[in-house]
Structure 1
Amino acid sequence: MAYPDELLGEDESVVVHHHPHWKMLVFPILVFLVVVGGGTYLAALAEATSWRVIVWSALGVVGGFLIIWFTLAPLFRWRTTHYVVTTQRFMVREGVFTRSGVDIPMARINSVRFRHGIVDRILGSGTLIVESAADEPLEFDDIPGVEQVHSLLYREIDGATDWTESRREGER
């Protein structure tokens, strides 16, 4: 899904747009499978009892709650989290009901680092660490292709620095 053009400034274009890595959905999918499998097993055990309707209702309520809380909520969180690098800024947007975001202009970014362990290296993800002029370093976990995003962001920062310097020279 492309990032909405109406949220971009003039002469700004998207360089890269990612959602968090799919590995953050492994636990929610496992929870879903365990809840459905366990609920089906318990419902089959309750079949022979006279109070099976009550057990089935309770299983449905508990199973529904577990699926909503541990499967659907993380899925929506994953789907509504965006990491966007444009020609002018680095943006992070996240949230389902309450949206929050961070925008860092390229000219304000001092350094970009990445970190990934062995599992992250195998899966092709990692943590991106962005240091801006005024803030503590911001860490963004589960970035897919973190090394490529790091390189692109660094290239865009270098381009923004060149653009800012040429603009300042033009004002003199």
Structure 2
Amino acid sequence: MLLVSIACLTGCEEEKKAPSEILEYEGPFQEAEDLVMLYSESAKVQIRLTTPKLWEYENGDREFPEGIFLEFFNDEGEIGSTLRADEAFFFKEENKWRGRGDVEIRSMENNQQLDTEELYWKPAEQIMYTDKFVTIIDGDEIMTGTGMRAAQDFSWYGFGNPEGTFNISE
């Protein structure tokens, strides 16, 4: 009888999961809604970021699942250019941004506009690039192509496979 009781007690012991079977939460550890963030340097606002939703992850990455709107200010404190995307992601380790969906950049100072479906921006290197189809309106010129690399201020840009209408001075 004693052996049967011991067998029942050991058989009823709760099964413990191995550490490798425990699921860890991988979602955002912080969320914000209707957010406006200002980035400044030397007490001057450089960028104003507006987003309906921000998810921040433990590794420092940030996701903007409902879109993002950035305003870039010039030295006079005026808006020089804007960037809008349907969704965005900031990769902290690489210090790189990715905009997706309907991505549009407007330069008020240079009368330029860029439209694409995906765009990467590396602030430290001051470059933007994509391997997707791009349209750039520069004054009265409309240029299209697949793949593009540009300075973040549009002082130069190049296409991988250019098309469009160009004005050539004699």
TM-score band, normalised by shorter chain: under 0.3
Q: Which of these two proteins has the greater Rg computed from alpha carbons?
A: 2
- Considering Cα pairs closer than 8 Å and 6+ residues apart, tell me whether 1 or 2 has the greater RCO: 1
Structure with a larger share of its residues in strand: 2
- Structure having the larger proportion of residues in helix: 1
